[in-house]
Amino acid sequence: MIFTGMGLKRFLRKYYAFSRREQRGILVLLALIIVSWILTLVIENRRQAIDIKFIEGELLTFAKPEEEFSSFGKSVREENKTQDIKVPAELFQFDPNTLEAEGWKRLGLPDRTIKAILAYRKAGGRFRKPEDLSRIYTLAPEDYQRIAPYVAIMNAEPLRRDSMLPGNRRKAEFVAPAIPVVELNSADTTLLQALPGIGPVFARRIWKYGQRLGGYYQPEQLLEVYGMDAARLDKIKTFIIVDTLKIKKIDVNQASFKDLLRHPYLEYYMVKALADYRQKHHGIREISELRMLPLMYDELYFKLRPYLSINPDYLPSQ
């Protein structure tokens, strides 16, 4: 259909024009939307101002700090995101029971969180394990995850209430326990927790991965443990030794397909190639023969080499 100028004008007026009543209704609706939006902004700003005043004023003067932080903290942690400007973070080993405000700032925590921690301690609160820090409701989850590995609590005994009385300025004295030298292939999870920055979760991961490998042959293999990074490894590397004689080796001629597949460094395609080669050549007589396997590359070969062996008493006959 082709419209002339007048025809198009009549068409638009007939099907798209609003009556006066409809125009008034649209204007009223727009006015209500704008008023609602303005009221929402005003109420939200006022609520945030009240929340901040309440948090910084009343919550920091509690009588039972551990109960207040555990019950109330979980419900407001997500609502009260801190807007404080953070300084560049510096990670180091620290005791949350003795660290002063400057130290918390070096860790990159905002002022509001620092005030909450110091008020908690002043009221008699005590951190007995790294997880206790998560009860500080103003501590953002990402900040907790970042600093928790560096917590080193020197003494889990609670502070005496009378030491907090005015006029008693004496601070509790702590003696840091000596860090033992740990042999990775014989250490249990308890001994691993003596390393700086290694808690129960990491200790279990390190031990469990060592069991799957058959033992460690160098400390750098800890970087293969889930969650381990170079910074954490540098903190504990000077306290680690490795006894390679404790590595449990796999006899490439006697191990079953399933036994080979259990090792973290061996994937299905490589185990299949090894098994085929072993059958075709009536056994493997030198570990270096594995370099001829399809898809075997140097990095994988040298990672596997410490875990493989050949028992001369059980070499297959030609």
**pLDDT digit string, tens, across residues 20-53:** 777 788 888 888 899 888 888 878 766 655 544 4
Report the pLDDT value the prediction gives residue 131, as an integer from 0 to 100.
84
Report the pLDDT value the prediction gives residue 19, as an integer from 0 to 100.
72
Amino acid letter, 152: A
- d(CA 314, CA 254) in angstroms, rounded, equals 8
**Domain assignments of the chain as residue spans, ordered by start:** 65-156, 182-246, 250-314
| Residue 270 buriedness (CB in 10 A; 0-12 / 13-18 / 19+) | buried
Tokens 């079953």 correspond to what residue? 256
Closest CA to 126 of 93, 155, 165: 155
Residues contacting 71, CB < 8 A, separation 6+: none
Report the pLDDT value the prediction gives residue 67, as an integer from 0 to 100.
44
Phi and psi torsions of 308, nearest 5°: -115, 145
Range among 88-92, 128-132, 239-243 rated most confident: 239-243
Which CATH superfamily groups domain 182-246?
A: Photosystem II 12 kDa extrinsic protein (1.10.150.320)
Sign of CA dihedral 269, 270, 275, 278: positive
Tokens 């004023």 correspond to what residue? 57
Query: Lowest mean pLDDT: which of 96-100, 161-165, 296-300?
Result: 161-165
Tokens 């700090």 correspond to what residue? 65
- d(CA 234, CA 167) in angstroms, rounded, equals 43
Residue 114, Cα to own-chain centre: how many angstroms?
21
Query: Lowest mean pLDDT: which of 10-19, 211-220, 225-234?
Result: 10-19
Report the pLDDT value the prediction gives residue 126, as an integer from 0 to 100.
85
Query: Lowest mean pLDDT: which of 10-19, 29-38, 238-247, 262-271?
Result: 10-19
The CATH number of the domain covering residues in 250-314: 1.10.150
pTM, to two decimals: 0.45
Decide whether 182-246 matches 250-314 in CATH topology.
Answer: yes
- d(CA 120, CA 60) in angstroms, rounded, equals 7
The average confidence (pLDDT) of the chain is 77
Q: Is the pLDDT of residue 232 over 50?
A: yes
- d(CA 142, CA 76) in angstroms, rounded, equals 16
Q: Is the pLDDT of residue 152 over 80?
A: yes
Closest CA to 144 of 127, 125, 130: 130
**Predicted confidence (pLDDT) per residue in 52-101, tens digit:** 444 444 444 333 444 444 444 444 444 444 444 445 678 888 888 888 98
- The pLDDT confidence band at residue 179, using thresholds 50, 70 and 90, is confident
